[in-house]
């Protein structure tokens, strides 16, 4: 089962993917997490990726695609995987289709998350993430705060604000890039008949955990 999480930054892709991963055993493959790990370790890949990420731009395919291809061959991804943050463009989607075809697989389901822009910006400015790479639990100091300020409930590690979440101008730039390059994927997967759109918003009192629970029930049928 190959599942893709679509949606602008701050819509809850990572949270939903993590909850579904826990229940199904499908690994959550986040290019963002892999980039951040390499950046913190100052690897060659990390240094190159950081140049693009810090300026609010997408990491180019020559860095991203080979990394994802390698990750899909890991043993834990044999029965299924949840792709969070990839593909981001039509070109990447086509390359993913080619990769999967070589492996005798295909994309089975695409979840498209939609959230009002003002909510996205507020969520990202108030988002905090666990610094423990084995945990990576995400909090929101307004909607889902930790019991102890600045400390992860699950592992006790410190929480931090991602550098790319601290500047509203950079956030707006990232959202513009999403609209320009990533939103066309909605039409791409809709034509394939595998797209499911979910609105995640305080306006309708439907948050990421609600979407995750419904998705888990659907997958377990």
For the stretch 109-166, pLDDT in tens is: 999 999 998 999 998 999 999 999 888 888 999 888 999 999 999 999 999 998 878 8
Residues 6+ apart with CB under 8 A from 157: 130, 131, 132, 135, 151
To the query of whether residue 162 is one of the catalytic residues in this protein, the response is yes
**Catalytic-labelled residue, pool 13, 36, 95, 136:** 13
- Residue 29, phi then psi, degrees to nearest 5: -105, 105
- At 153, list the tokens: 């409930």
Enumerate residues 6+ apart whose C-beta is below 8 A from 6: 13, 110, 111, 112, 113, 182, 185, 186, 189
pTM, to two decimals: 0.79
Please tell me which residue in 36, 71, 88, 128 is annotated as part of the active site: 88
Tokens of 178: 């999403």
127 catalytic? Reply is yes
What is the rounded distance in angstroms from the CA atom of residue 4 to the CA atom of residue 111? 6
pLDDT value of residue 5:
96
Give me the catalytic one of 48, 173, 196, 199: 173
What confidence tens digit (pLDDT) does each residue in 167-208 have? 888 888 888 888 888 888 999 999 999 999 999 998 898 988
User: Starting from the edge strand earliest in sequence, which strands make up the sheet with 195-199, in order?
Assistant: 28-30, 81-84, 2-7, 109-114, 195-199
pLDDT at 25: 93
> Is 173 designated active site?
yes
- Note the pLDDT tens digit of each residue in 26-36: 999 988 777 87
Q: Which residues face 46 on adjacent strands?
A: none
């Amino acid at each position: 089962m190959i599942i893709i999480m679509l949606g602008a930054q701050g819509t809850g892709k990572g949270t939903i993917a993590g909850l579904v991963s826990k229940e199904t055993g499908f690994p959550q493959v986040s290019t963002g997490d892999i980039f951040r790990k390499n950046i913190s370790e100052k690897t060659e890949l990390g240094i190159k990726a950081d140049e693009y990420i810090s300026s609010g731009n997408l990491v180019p395919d020559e860095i991203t695609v080979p990394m994802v291809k390698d990750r899909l061959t890991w043993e834990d991804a044999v029965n299924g995987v949840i792709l969070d943050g990839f593909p981001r463009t039509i070109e990447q989607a086509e390359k993913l289709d080619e990769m999967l075809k070589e492996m005798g697989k295909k994309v089975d389901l695409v979840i498209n998350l939609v959230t009002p822009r003002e909510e996205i910006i507020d969520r990202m400015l108030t988002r905090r993430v666990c610094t423990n790479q084995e945990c990576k639990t995400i909090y929101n100091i307004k909607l889902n705060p930790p019991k102890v300020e600045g400390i992860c409930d699950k592992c006790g590690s410190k929480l931090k604000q991602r550098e790319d979440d601290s500047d509203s101008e950079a956030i707006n730039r990232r959202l513009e890039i999403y609209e320009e390059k990533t939103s066309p994927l909605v039409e791409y997967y809709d034509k394939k008949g595998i797209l499911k759109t979910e609105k995640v918003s305080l306006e309708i009192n439907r948050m990421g955990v609600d979407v995750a629970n419904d998705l888990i029930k659907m997958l377990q049928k």
